[in-house]
Amino acid sequence: MIHESCEIWNLLHDGSMESLERDGADLHLVVAIQYLAEVLQPGSQELLIVLHDCSTFEYTDWETGTPTTELSRIQGIEILSTDSKSLPAKISTPEGDLMADFTSFSLKLADGTPCSVEQLRQAAESYWEKFSSRTGQS
């Protein structure tokens, strides 16, 4: 079974890491993911995530093979998914892999309201069910 610290990256599919900021050992991310944020909070376009005690957050571009921990170079990268079942998580992006290791995380809506993984999971399931019915796919 996949640990929710890994599952979160699959739930954030197609989200873009628009802002990354260190606060001591924690890493604060603003993930632009309108389709999902809108389900959770109408009018919203992003979710706030804090990776607590984040010891690793490293991106490796497939073309260059060069890893970076420089947040300004990771900013704007789109999240696709992970096959990781436990931490550290190896997260796939369109052009490389992101390694993330942290002890826990917290989720908030754009207005700061806490959000559980279950709420995020239900919002994603609801969105993708509606998407499938619109496109005629199952």
Mean pLDDT along residues 100-114: 97
Query: What would the pLDDT profile of 30-40 be if each residue is shown by its tens digit?
Result: 999 999 999 99
Number of folded domains in the chain? 1
- Own/partner long-range contacts of 57-62 (Cβ < 8 Å, ≥24 apart): 57/20, 57/27, 57/98, 57/99, 57/100, 57/101, 58/98, 58/99, 59/93, 59/96, 59/97, 59/98, 59/99, 60/96, 60/97, 60/98, 60/99, 61/95, 61/96, 62/95, 62/96, 62/97
Mean pLDDT along residues 20-39: 97
What's the confidence (pLDDT) of residue 2? 77
C-beta neighbour count of 95 within 10 angstroms: 13
What's the confidence (pLDDT) of residue 136? 64
Mean pLDDT along residues 108-117: 96
The residue range of the domain holding 71 is 4-135
Query: What would the pLDDT profile of 42-52 be if each residue is shown by its tens digit?
Result: 999 999 999 99
The model's confidence at residue 137, banded by pLDDT at 50, 70 and 90, is: low
Query: What would the pLDDT profile of 79-98 be if each residue is shown by its tens digit?
Result: 999 999 999 999 999 999 99
Instruction: Report the alpha-carbon angle 5-97-14, nearest 5.
Output: 70
